[in-house]
Amino acid sequence: MTNKTDGKENQMWGGRFSRGPSAIMEEINASIDIDRRLWREDIAGSKAHAAMLAAAKIISVKDNEAIQHGLGQITSEIERDEFAFSKALEDIHMNIEARLKEIIGEPAGRLHTARSRNDQVATDFRLWVRRACEEAETSLKALMLALTKKAGENADAVMPGFTHLQTAQPVTFGHHLLAYVEMFSRDAARFADARARMNESPLGAAALAGTSFPIDRDATAAALGFDRPCANSLDAVSSRDFALEALSAASITATHLSRLAEELVLWTSPHFGFVRLSDAFSTGSSIMPQKRNPDAAELVRAKAGRIIASLNNLLIVMKGLPLAYSKDMQEDKAATFEGMDALSLGLAAMTGMIGDLEANESAMKEAAGRGYSTATDLADWLVRSLNMPFRQAHHVTGAAVALAEKKGVALDALPLEDMQKIEPKITKDIFSVLSVQASVASRTSFGGAAPANVKREASRWLAALNKEKN
């Protein structure tokens, strides 16, 4: 099957023009290569609009039946990859309308009554972005579930916590992973908020001023799953903040993905050796047979740039446009599609990596003991046991660390008599807090790294995520 309509026969612009567009104009004006992805949304919007027109007696029941049948046939043709998209017809809206005319004839011309391409594309685009937000939220929760399961399995696995990428205090691998669960939960909430805010229907706003036909915008809004119609016709066709908000949420999510990806890159290196990615998410080298490259993590890290660039792209497109519609806004979809596609792929890849990775507990524990990571525990013991002011305890601890460093031993290997030369009141009880296990176990404050806390939080998240999943 092929569309019979070519550029010369394109009458969608009406009788205002005596000549067709130049080849260059046709090329820059066409968006079908991008917006063909909106075909489902376009057909859904047209079906809802036609049904409303018939209910309002603006078109006949017979014409509506013909339109519904024709749109159903077009759906089947596109699904079977038998629909010929034409660049001469500019966009998805005209491609579908032209084919509808071939199928049903004159009734196809009644479909566009009380409607403009301006409110049509705004509706289609909102429907697509709404679905993309739902899919992002679902994907985020799948990643959160993978992180939570891995956190529960590693609640007792001691690892170094870092500040400035320098060893700071011991934590557990489970606690570290749950930090990302918290971040991604906020990302999921941002997508849910964005979806709720964008859930208003532009359909019926027409070109910019509404229509004189007695349409029922509440009916079309309900048919398409919107909460209500947009209250202002100018705003309905000229706003793209719903896409900007979705891309903003995507960009924040991408920064979180990138940070986790960066840690996977570090952790899989021989210098850390904290985790091992499965073969499914690693690659080799063409010349160095020993290499296991964390390419999936590196590519997720890089995707953040594309997503943030998509947000910047759309911000720059929109920043100087007067109300209402301008052709510049045709560029909104390419940026949004690219950004949301990159996010979708990044979330899927990260979920796979987290699900498959294996933690090297011995390497993490050994690293946690380096860098005098229990120094704060020594200072805290001095405050608790000797009633020493913290600033003085900090000074005493610093001197103990300097001595241990000079002798080339860990803090818990520094002899008691050496510690007592620095502070005579120190007793052998000090050694009860200087191991990395004791340090982590003591962090029982709300939100702290104690294994008991981690197990409790992992169980809470697991229950919440499984409940939503079911």
The catalytic residue positions are 164, 285
User: CB neighbours of 174 closer than 8 A, spacing ≥ 6?
Assistant: 150, 151, 152, 153, 154, 155, 156, 157, 451, 454, 455, 458
Both tokens assigned to 444: 């029982």
From CA 414, how far away is CA 411, in angstroms rounded?
A: 5
Compute the distance between CA of residue 386 and CA of residue 114 in angstroms, rounded to an integer: 82
| Other Cβ atoms closer than 10 A to 412 | 20
Q: How many Cβ atoms from other residues are within 10 Å of residue 395's Cβ?
A: 16
381-392 burial: b if 16+ Cβ within 10 Å, else e: bbeeebebeeee
What's the token pair of residue 282?
């690693």
| Residue among 165, 402, 401 nearest 271 (CA) | 165
Q: If residue 380 lies in a helix (H) or strand (E), which one and from where to where?
A: helix 375-386
Note the Cα 129 to chain centre separation in Å: 12
| Rounded Cα gap, residues 432 and 147, in angstroms | 32
- CA atoms of 198 and 248, how far apart (whole Å): 14
Distance CA(364)–CA(378), nearest Å, equals: 21
Q: Which residue is it, tokens 């510690």?
A: 419
Q: Is 8 exposed, middle or buried (0-12, 13-18, 19+ CB in 10 A)?
A: exposed
Q: CA 400 → CA 108, 152, 369, 380, 415, distances in Å? A: 86, 35, 16, 14, 11
289 phi/psi in degrees, rounded to 5: -65, -20
DSSP 229-282: E-S-HHHHHH--HHHHHHHHHHHHHHHHHHHHHHHHHHHHSTTT--EE--GGG-
Q: Are strands 158-163 and 200-201 parallel, antiparallel or unpaired?
A: unpaired
What single-letter DSSP state applies at residue 287?
Answer: S
Question: By three-state DSSP, how is residue 14 classified?
Answer: helix
